[in-house]
Structure 1
Amino acid sequence: MSLIIAYIGKKGCVMASDKRKIAYFGNKDNLAQLEDELYAGKITSEEELTNRAQELDIQIKLSSDGNKISTIDDVVRGEVSSKGAFETKRKRIYGTTNGYQIIELIGSNITSKNSGEKAIIIFGNKYAKAEAEKLISKKWKSSLSLKYMGDIFAEIIKEISKSTPTVGGEVDVLLKQPQYTPQEAQKHLDEIIETDVKLLSKFRQKLQNDLIEKSREIELASKIIDEGSVGKVINVDGKMLEVKLNDKTVAYDGNWKELAGPNENVIMFTESDDVKVGDEVVIEGEDLCLKKDKSSLKCNIILCNA
C-alpha cells in the first residue's frame, strides 16, 4: 500500500512517497478479494474500505506514519514491502545523480537487480501507478528543476489519494544532487547497497534473536510457581535464610538468567524469629512463606517449575 515516484538523471535524484500503511487481519481468501478490489480502483475512499472490509469480515488498521523513503549518504532510497507468513518481501530503489538500481529481496536475500542511468520510476499498485503515469505525462517537463519535480510528484500523490485509500495524503519528498558520472554512480550504488543489505541482515538477526528470547521468557513465565512447596531451610543466620530448593524448582533473576537449579541453594529473608532448620518453604496464594505458620519470606528471585 504505497506510492513512490522517483526521477533519476543528470540533475540528481528526487523521490516522493505517501505515508499510508494498512494492516489486515482475517480470512486469506477474503483478504485477497479485498486487495483485488483496492488495486483495481473499485474502492475509492476510507469509508468504502471500512464498509467493504466489514462485509468480508476483515479487520483493518489505517495509519499515515510510514517512512518509505530515506537518504543514505548521497543516495535516496525508496522501499515498498509486503509481509508474508514467514518472510517479508521488499522492493527497493536506490537513486543518485546519473544512476539508479532496483533490487528485490526476500528477507535479506537479493532475488533480482537491475540498473539504469536515467528514468522516472513508479512503485505502487496497479491503479495508483496508472493514475500517476497519466498525471506525470500532463505535468512533467524535462526542463523543470529537481525541486520543482519533487513538488509536482507530491501534488500527484495527494491528488491520487483522493480517489483511493491505498495512498495517503501525507507526503515525503527527498532529493540528492551529488556530482557523479554514470560509471561512478553505479560503483557508488553498489557500495551503498552492499552495506545497506548487510545492515538489514543484522537487523533481522537481532529481531529473530529478540523473538526467540521473548518466546523463552513467555515459556518460563508460564512456569512460575503460584502454589506448592519449593524447598527447605538449611541454615538460619539472623533474618537471612539459606534455602535448598526441591528437585522440582528452579530460580531465575529478573532477566531470566538461571541462578539455582533443583537441589541447589538460594537466599531468602524473614521477619520471623521462629525459623528452624528443616522448615518447609512454600508458595500459597502466590505468597512465599513458611508452611508451618505462614510467616512471609522475601527474595529477589523468580521461582519456577523445573
Structure 2
Amino acid sequence: MSLIIAYIGKKGCVMAADKRKIGYFGDKENLEILETELYNGMIGSDDEFKRRADELGISVKITDDATKLKIVGNCVRGEVSTKGTFETKRRRIYGTTNGYQLVELLGSEVTSRKSGESGIIIFGNNFAKKMAENLISKRFKPSSSLKSKGEIFEEIIKEVALKTPTVGRNCDVLKQEPQFDASKSQRHLNVTIDNDVKVLVKFRQNLTEQIVQQNLEIEMASKIINKGDVGKVVSIDGNMVFVQLNNKTQAMDGNWKQLAKPGQNVIMFTESENIEIGDKVTIEDEDLCLKKDKSPLKCDVILCSL
C-alpha cells in the first residue's frame, strides 16, 4: 500500500513517498479477492474501495500519516513493510550520491542486499508502479535539479493516487547530496545500513522486553489480593508490625519483583492500640486491616496470591 520513487545520480539522491497506510481485517479468502482487485487497478477510488470492502465483509482503516522516508547518515531511506502473523517484512532502499542499496528484512534479519550506482527505483504494487513508470517516461528530465525531480515525483504520486486507493495524495520528499564518488558511496552505505539495522535490532529487543513486562504486569495484576486472609501478627514494635504471610500470599514491589515469600515477614504500620501477637491480618473490600476489629493497616508492598 505504498508508492516510493527514488532517483540516484551523480549529484545526489531524491525520494518521494506517499503517506498512506491501510489496515484490514476479515475472512482470508475475501481479503485475497479484495487485494487482487486493488492491485489489478479494478478499484479506482477510496469510496469504491470502502464499498467493495463492505460487500466482502472486510473492515478497513485508511490513514494518510505514515512516514516512509527518513534521513539516515548521508542517505535517504525509503521503506515499505508488510506485517505477517509472526514477523514484519521490510523492503528498504538507501540512496545517496552515486550509489544505492536495496535491502530486504524479515523482522530484523537481512535476507537480501543488492547495490547499484544510479537509476530510478520504484516501490509499489504492479498497477501503481506501471502507471508511475509511464508518467516518469513522459515527464522526467535527466538534466533537471534534484529539487525539480522531487517535485515531478510528488506530482506523479498524486496523479497515481487518483486512480488507486493503494496510494495516498499526501507526500514526503527528501534529498541528500554529499560529495561521494561511487566507491565512497558504497562504503558509506555499508556502514550506514549496518548501523541502521543494529538500531532496528535494538528497537525490537526493547519492544520484546516491553511486551514481556506488560504481560507480566497483566498476569500479576490479576493476582493482587482484594479479599481474604494474608497472614498473622508475629511481632509489634510501637506502630510497626511484623506480619508473617500465610502459605498462599507473597509480597511484590512496584516492578513485580518478589520481596517476601509465603511464611516470610513483611512490615506493616498501624495506629491501633488494640493489636496483639497472633492477630490475623486480612483484606476486606480492598482494604488491609486486622480481622478482629477492622483496624486499618498500611504497607509498602503489593500482596498477591501465588
**Residue in 2 aligned with 1:184?**
184
Give 4+ residue runs of structure 1 displaced > 3 Å after superposition.
none
1:166 equivalenced with 2:177 (yes/no): no
| Shift of residue 52, structure 1, vs aligned partner | 2.2
1:216 equivalenced with 2:233 (yes/no): no
Return the alpha-carbon distance in structure 2 between the equivalents of residues 35 and 85 of structure 1: 17
**Residue in 2 aligned with 1:295?**
295
**Residue in 2 aligned with 1:105?**
105
Return the alpha-carbon distance in structure 2 between the equivalents of residues 303 and 3 of structure 1: 54
1:268 equivalenced with 2:259 (yes/no): no
Q: Deviations over 1:10-57 (max 9, x none)?
A: 121000001111122222222222222221222222222222222222
**Residue in 2 aligned with 1:199?**
199
Which has the higher mean CA deviation after the structures are superposed, 262-271 or 78-87?
262-271
**Residue in 2 aligned with 1:127?**
127
Residue type of the alignment partner of 2:109: N
**Residue in 2 aligned with 1:47?**
47
| Shift of residue 229, structure 1, vs aligned partner | 1.1
1:238 equivalenced with 2:238 (yes/no): yes
Residue type of the alignment partner of 1:219: E
**Residue in 1 aligned with 2:144?**
144
1:81 equivalenced with 2:81 (yes/no): yes
Instruction: Sort the Cα spacing of 1:226 and 1:162 in 2 relative to 1 into closer, same or farther, 3 A.
Output: same
Report the secondary structure of 1:144's partner residue: coil
What percentage of residue pairs aligned between the two structures are identical? 60
Instruction: Sort the Cα spacing of 1:237 and 1:58 in 2 relative to 1 into closer, same or farther, 3 A.
Output: farther
Instruction: Sort the Cα spacing of 1:235 and 1:162 in 2 relative to 1 into closer, same or farther, 3 A.
Output: same
1:57 equivalenced with 2:57 (yes/no): yes
Instruction: Sort the Cα spacing of 1:42 and 1:258 in 2 relative to 1 into closer, same or farther, 3 A.
Output: same
Report the secondary structure of 2:217's partner residue: helix
| Shift of residue 269, structure 1, vs aligned partner | 2.2
**Residue in 1 aligned with 2:2?**
2
Q: Deviations over 1:194-249 (max 9, x none)?
A: 11111111111111111112111111111111221111111223332211111111
Which has the higher mean CA deviation after the structures are superposed, 27-36 or 75-84?
27-36
Instruction: Sort the Cα spacing of 1:277 and 1:16 in 2 relative to 1 into closer, same or farther, 3 A.
Output: same
TM-score relative to the length of structure 1: 0.96
Instruction: Sort the Cα spacing of 1:101 and 1:253 in 2 relative to 1 into closer, same or farther, 3 A.
Output: same
Return the alpha-carbon distance in structure 1 between the equivalents of residues 5 and 24 of structure 2: 25
Which has the higher mean CA deviation after the structures are superposed, 144-153 or 32-41?
32-41
Return the alpha-carbon distance in structure 1 between the equivalents of residues 296 and 39 of structure 2: 64
Report the secondary structure of 1:89's partner residue: strand
Residue type of the alignment partner of 2:159: E
**Residue in 2 aligned with 1:91?**
91
| Shift of residue 272, structure 1, vs aligned partner | 2.4
Return the alpha-carbon distance in structure 1 between the equivalents of residues 238 and 51 of structure 2: 69
Q: Runs of 5+ in structure 2 lacking a partner?
A: none
Q: Deviations over 1:61-118 (max 9, x none)?
A: 2212211011112111100000111111000000011111001111111111111111
TM-score relative to the length of structure 2: 0.96
Report the secondary structure of 2:34's partner residue: helix
Report the secondary structure of 1:251's partner residue: strand
